[in-house]
Structure 1
């Protein structure tokens, strides 16, 4: 969506987005949401005034069953479509057969380079790139994330510790593209190999994670996160299908069917950084840039982390991923006049 088509005031904007999605009903039956947190996300685009970026990407996570909107996080999976959409909307002019779209994620300040195929000046959507958890194949979109440390907190380790005890569980609180609380699956009483549906049914697990998450949110400087989707939660287990490690990513009140682009960067960094709960999961040391294969419920996601170890610390220079996107629809969505009457 174009940011200019929507209310500037965030309270008014939230009411409009809740109406568009149909938040407040588990099926989003009075809106165009998909009845799950992965399908109630909104990207709002505008020309950027940043010296580097072409496009500003403002993200909103709309709740499914509650009439709530969270503007704190960003979303990498939705960001994949920003490059093609910006070209389609005329915000960026295609250049040759391949066009770089430079994106600023305004929620977090992250800068992202997207490489989009544009033969003949048109976005190409068909191709042979395959993503585990996504049906079919499509044209590849290469993403390179910069300035990902401390996306909405004070730094990569916002509590000042690489590992700490919270409510009797050893966890790492990290912020690389997405603030996360990361623990070992075994410590929370699961294997880490369960399906997303099986984990969603494990209410005792969510009670443990939420108790830890609420305390971690305070320690990370995020305040009361009771109604916020950040920090997210991640659990680690040893790889069992030839990958680097097995992960389960929580959004945070249900398990992601695959893995978030932003969360993948934080989890990969946890595996690489010394002194975290992720230390020891990798079978061998990885030189920088490290190419990690993260196993998730529907396959694997490859993440490339360019990092350095200054004075025994850990610094992420950039993160790269390959994703796909396709155009689904173009048109207008209608909002009831009592919610917002656009002049």
Structure 2
């Protein structure tokens, strides 16, 4: 048996294994085999590992002290593709990003400072910078607090996560196609309107009504609708090809399952969340469902929420064109998702007729669940 030190953490509405880079083999060619065994793939039940059978519970994060100026730590996220012997490093995970700051403080990579310390981070999936304000007490991360986020029981300390200059993370452009509104030709369906943008991760957004949905369906209902899932994957794959990540739909599904993500939205609408609570239309500005690696996410991935919030501010985008009365940017955009409401704060400016995204901030929480040694077979 081989053994590796790890910390199992929740970040936002995701969870996974945190590793210090120094505790892994220098030969990165060994990493995939290690991470897959840690999570128990390719068994979709992941009985022989720590995986949670859905994409949000199958994250790997490798962290190390940075030698870059004005950067404290760097990190790389691996998305385990459930049921396959595949680790996807193409995109960052916004939720697990929230765990990196506390982890860095707890592991001594960043010195704690009371009442809080700003952890300056560089994500190596996207080469983008993120600042996290981490509350501290008694020389370490202060986990206890009164902050609650949708999709997580109880309260914890508030983490302020600010994604700096997030546009063009994978494509180098806010609008990879050059358009705020695209018309995609979908095989077997026809043409559909979509907005494609690259904020922290590439994202394609369509109207719920255009795919025969109301926008308030819960994940189980969406996942059980084979026809809609197939259509959404074709939409995602078509956008994937349009952005140059794949040459056809088959390659998009096989080699780029996490990039881009696809989501559909509708206007403010009341529904019963996955926890049985009533989520009211007056609490939100938009209602969104996001597909993450072929399954509907139980909340809304943080990078996807960032993309939605920026799209809502882009004149002529599908969201801006469809909805009316969106709030002032200073008040944030309230997004309804299967687990509740989340508020995003996009920062946009216009310079010489070009839109610049200085940052997108969000409130998150994180928690160290377990630390110890994980064992793999070889």
TM band (smaller chain): over 0.9
Give the deviation of 1:311 after TM superposition. 5.2
Bigger strand share: 2
Give the deviation of 1:10 after TM superposition. 4.0
Residues 1:192 and 2:233 aligned together: no
Q: 1:257-276 deviations in whole A, cap 9, x for unaligned?
A: 00111110001111111121
Number of residues paired by the alignment? 337
Q: 1:151-186 deviations in whole A, cap 9, x for unaligned?
A: 111311111111111121111111011101111111
Bigger shift: residues 161-170 or 284-293:
284-293
Give the deviation of 1:147 after TM superposition. 1.7
SS of match in other structure, 1:78:
helix
Question: Taking structure 1 as reference, are residues 146 and 50 closer, same or farther at Cα in structure 2, changes over 3 Å only?
Answer: same
SS of match in other structure, 1:113:
strand
* Structure 2 residue aligned with 1:174: 197
SS of match in other structure, 1:266:
helix
SS of match in other structure, 1:174:
strand
Q: 1:66-100 deviations in whole A, cap 9, x for unaligned?
A: 11000000001111111111111111111222111
Residues 1:218 and 2:218 aligned together: no
Residues 1:336 and 2:377 aligned together: yes
SS of match in other structure, 1:139:
coil
Residues 1:248 and 2:275 aligned together: no
Residues 1:36 and 2:77 aligned together: no
Return 5+ residue gaps in structure 2 as ranges. Answer: 1-18, 270-280
Give the deviation of 1:331 after TM superposition. 0.9
* Structure 1 residue aligned with 2:66: 48
> C-alpha separation between the residues in 2 aligned to 1:49 and 1:281?
46
TM-score (norm 2): 0.86
Q: 1:168-226 deviations in whole A, cap 9, x for unaligned?
A: 11111110111011111110110111011111111111111111221211211222422
1:101 corresponds, among 105, 119, 129, to 119
> C-alpha separation between the residues in 2 aligned to 1:9 and 1:187?
47
CA contact (8 A) 1:274 1:313 kept: no
2:307 corresponds, among 243, 246, 266, to 266
> C-alpha separation between the residues in 2 aligned to 1:218 and 1:8?
34
> C-alpha separation between the residues in 1 aligned to 2:303 and 2:287?
16
Question: Taking structure 1 as reference, are residues 244 and 65 closer, same or farther at Cα in structure 2, changes over 3 Å only?
Answer: same
CA contact (8 A) 2:148 2:156 kept: yes
* Structure 2 residue aligned with 1:296: 337
1:15 corresponds, among 3, 13, 33, to 33
1:232 corresponds, among 261, 267, 278, to 261
SS of match in other structure, 1:214:
helix
> C-alpha separation between the residues in 2 aligned to 1:279 and 1:10?
43
Q: 1:36-71 deviations in whole A, cap 9, x for unaligned?
A: 111110111000122121010110001111110000
SS of match in other structure, 1:80:
helix
TM-score (norm 1): 0.94
Question: Taking structure 1 as reference, are residues 11 and 204 closer, same or farther at Cα in structure 2, changes over 3 Å only?
Answer: farther
Return 5+ residue gaps in structure 1 as ranges. Answer: 338-343
Residues 1:148 and 2:177 aligned together: no
* Structure 2 residue aligned with 1:115: 133
SS of match in other structure, 2:240:
helix
Residues 1:73 and 2:91 aligned together: yes
Structure number with greater CO (CA < 8 Å, separation at least 6) is 2
> C-alpha separation between the residues in 2 aligned to 1:98 and 1:8?
33
> C-alpha separation between the residues in 2 aligned to 1:252 and 1:175?
17
SS of match in other structure, 1:283:
coil
> C-alpha separation between the residues in 2 aligned to 1:8 and 1:72?
21
